[in-house]
Structure 1
Amino acid sequence: MKNLIAFVLLLSFLGCKKGNHSKKEIVTETKDTVIKEEVISLVNPLPTWHVDERCFLNGPVGSFDALAVKDPSIVYYEGKYHLFYTGRDKGTNGSWRMGYAKASSIKGLKTAERTYMGSVDAGSYFCAPQVFRFDGKDSWFLIFQSGKGATFSVSNDVADPASWTLGKAMGFSDGIDFWCIADNKNVYVFYSAQDGSHNIKSRQTSITDFPYSWSEAKVAVDDTFEAPHVYKNKADGNYYMMVEDLKDNRYFELWVSASLAGKWKKVSEKWASYHNLVDNADHWTDQVSHGEVVRSSNNQLMEVDNIDHCDVLIQGVKNGNYGDYGNIPYQLGLMRNY
């Protein structure tokens, strides 16, 4: 009987010990989760931006980009800057179509030959490109918007504008300004919702399934406007979203998150606006609109060395009474916050 009682007491003790251990793990896991959501950013929320002269202008009369050039995406590869952009041919009943140019310097783009990218779409609406090389898939990707919704094209040679495949639908069409970025497991797409909500939405898929099999959309950021660009900042390990708003001209907000699937926290309402622009040359823009940070790598990780010490290629224009958005004669130029 004594042996039986001792055995029962031993089982009770072990059971209590196991229970306490599980509770401790839960607390630890909960604590870790909270820590991951607590992101600290030391980025300057209101830097001075030095604006260079325009580096890429509208094309000649009759060309696909005769009125405006906008929505730049740029990578540096094999000694050249490769620029993909949207061209506007005319105001009323005009088309939004993509173009390409390359040069050994960003300033050199001003005189570079430009090419209409007819291989990706034969229509009048394919625009807002993002370009990157996907390591592991051995291909360059163009992500853009078209009549198919979110669309992609691939190439083995970023320097050959005729090498891009005909665009294919990615499987959703509830937005514009699609932007992809990956971590070591998944690919995320951020984009501007077109339901009147002024939200930035996101979806995700596995690296294996990219560019298909996307999750349901969720709201990443609210009360803003369009053109989200998300980067991994190597200086602090955080992710930063540069997104355009228009409560006071057009300007860039800046948001931060510890992970691509995490919560986003606003760093600055007016990270880059006409209030903190300083002209290095002629005054050519009152707006800070749809831009691309010059990245430190050209792959799917979207890395920048330091968001506090960066160059951004923007579309800009002086304020004016242009009427319809399609009439605005945007041009491209570089600004830097150092």
Structure 2
Amino acid sequence: MKLIRTVVSILLAAAAVAAAGGTATAALPASFQWRSSGVLVSPKSDATHSIRAVKDPSVVYHNGRWHVFVSTTNSNGAYNLAYLNFTDWSQASSAQQYYLDQSAIGTGYRAAPQVFYFAPKKLWYLVYQTGAGGSYSTTTDMSNPKSWSAPKNFYASMPQIIRDNQGNGNWLDFWTICNTSKCYLFSSDNNGHLYRSETSVANFPNGFTNTVIALRDSNRYKLWEASNVYRVTETNQYLLVVEAIGSAGKRYFRSWTGPSITGPWTALADTEANPFARSNNVTFSGIAWTRDISHGEMIRSGTDQTMTISQCGLRYLYQGMDPGATDPYSKLPWRLGLLTQTNSTC
């Protein structure tokens, strides 16, 4: 009977973990080590686009191809969005870059894209910033860069809590993630605050409200911008990463974990000495081509609105640049590289 009770207990525990959407495995490590690729994606100009930087990547793997959306800046420092796809990372440098101002997304300030498939409506969403808060376009065919719809805004106006706290910062870097009932929209203000708004899955992309400060830091540079929130399947946790500017003026990522999208958030690897990803825990083959580990996105397990990743062998597509660059920010020569975790626990 004791053996039977033990077996039943094990089965019930496994069932409970499965029902919660996870599996009984070890948590994420308390520290991270990474290996970086060389430069994988560089600017490609054409007759009407004189491109200076490729940055802020969002990436999904779909139908046997990698699909990457990026911000670009031109020789005047003006922003645009671009798209490329390829079957293998070895092809990334030669992939054609399509400029999304040639779609209904149009011209003007567009930056910091996030792409995902919103399964309830069977539509691809591209979320980005336009200066009017978070904006989005949709398509049924992500691989057709001319098929995106014209921009629509998530908010009618800036929520008062952001207006009251952003100081001289900028409202930027919008990130969407959903669970079974709600969708959440995160944003930053370059002033030490991470914001979160919510709406129902049924009402998405409309109705974002209840904007709150999800995380704050008295040092604005330690909670700067470029937040990502992911569901980690094996641990039944959520992972939050946010870009910071370090003591040497170089960019890096801090991280936290939480039991839900709304937290509470517990520090994981969140210091310069023990970062999520920084020059001191990233190795390169040969001379390091960047000392900044900046705005990017994790390689996901799927494509949908749950932003799901596996904790096994994390990979992160990021922007870096020549350490000697001294250009104004909008003209800095950002390029894309890929981090691969080298201390995975599974």
Give the TM-score normalised by structure 2: 0.81
Structure 2 match to 1:289: 294
**Contact 1:52 1:281 (8 Å CA) reproduced:** no
* Partner SS, residue 55 of structure 1: coil
SS at match of 1:296: coil
Change (3 A) 1:220 1:41: farther
Which residue pairs with 2:235 in the alignment? 236
Shift of 1:277: 1.1
Aligned to 1:49: 34
One of 45, 50, 63 as aligned partner of 1:60: 45
Q: Structure 1 residues 258, 228: CA separation in 2 closer, same or farther (over 3 Å shift)? A: same
Query: 1:63 and 1:88 mapped to 2: Cα distance?
Result: 13
Deviation at 1:63, TM superposition (A): 5.4
Alignment pair present for 1:319 and 2:315? no
How far apart, in 2, do the equivalents of 1:229 and 1:98 lie?
19
Distance 2:315 2:50 in 1: 24
Any conservation in 2 of the 1:129–1:145 contact (CA below 8 Å)? Answer: yes
Q: SS state of the match for residue 313, structure 2?
A: coil
Counterpart of 1:142 in structure 2 is 126
Question: Aligned letter for 2:151?
Answer: G
Report the residue type matching 1:183 in the other structure. Answer: N
- Go from structure 1 to structure 2 and tell me whether the alpha carbon gap of 1:65 and 1:251 turns closer, same or farther (over 3 Å shift): farther
CA distance in structure 1 between the aligned counterparts of 2:120 and 2:196, rounded to whole angstroms? 23
Q: Write the distance in 1 (CA, Å) between the matches of 2:291 and 2:47.
A: 27
Deviation at 1:46, TM superposition (A): 2.4
CA distance, structure 2, for counterparts of residue 125 and residue 76 of structure 1: 27
Deviations 1:282-310 (A, max 9, x none): 5211110001101010000100111x521
Of residues 113, 122, 127, the one that matches 2:96 is 113
Alignment of 1:137-216 (within 5 A): 137-171=121-155, 172-173=157-158, 175-193=171-189, 197-216=191-210
CA distance in 2: counterparts of 1:120 and 1:288, whole angstroms: 32
Amino acid across the alignment from 2:80: R
Q: Cα distance 1:80–1:207, how it changes in 2: closer, same or farther (>3 A)?
A: same
Following superposition, the deviation at residue 220 of structure 1 comes to 1.0
Among candidates 78, 85, 94, match of residue 102 of structure 1: 85
- Once residues 197 and 50 of structure 2 are traced to their aligned partners in structure 1, the CA distance between those partners, rounded to angstroms, is 32
8 Å CA contact retained: 1:192, 1:201: yes
Aligned-partner SS, 1:53 = coil
- Secondary structure of 2:120's match? coil
TM-score, with structure 1 as normaliser: 0.83
Report what 1:10 is aligned to: none
Answer with 1 or 2: which has the greater Rg. 1
User: Alignment RMSD, CA only?
Assistant: 1.8
Q: Deviations over 1:253-288 (max 9, x none)?
A: 011110012311111121110011110355211110
**Cα–Cα, structure 1 residues 52 and 158, in superposed 2: closer, same or farther, change >3 Å?**
same
Q: Specify the SS of the correspondent of 1:44.
A: coil
In structure 1, runs of 5+ residues without a counterpart are: 1-39
The number of residues matched between the two structures is 294
State the partner residue of 2:282. 277
State the percentage of identical aligned residues: 29
Question: Which secondary structure state, in structure 1, belongs to the residue aligned with residue 38 of structure 2?
Answer: strand
* CA distance, structure 1, for counterparts of residue 277 and residue 68 of structure 2: 22
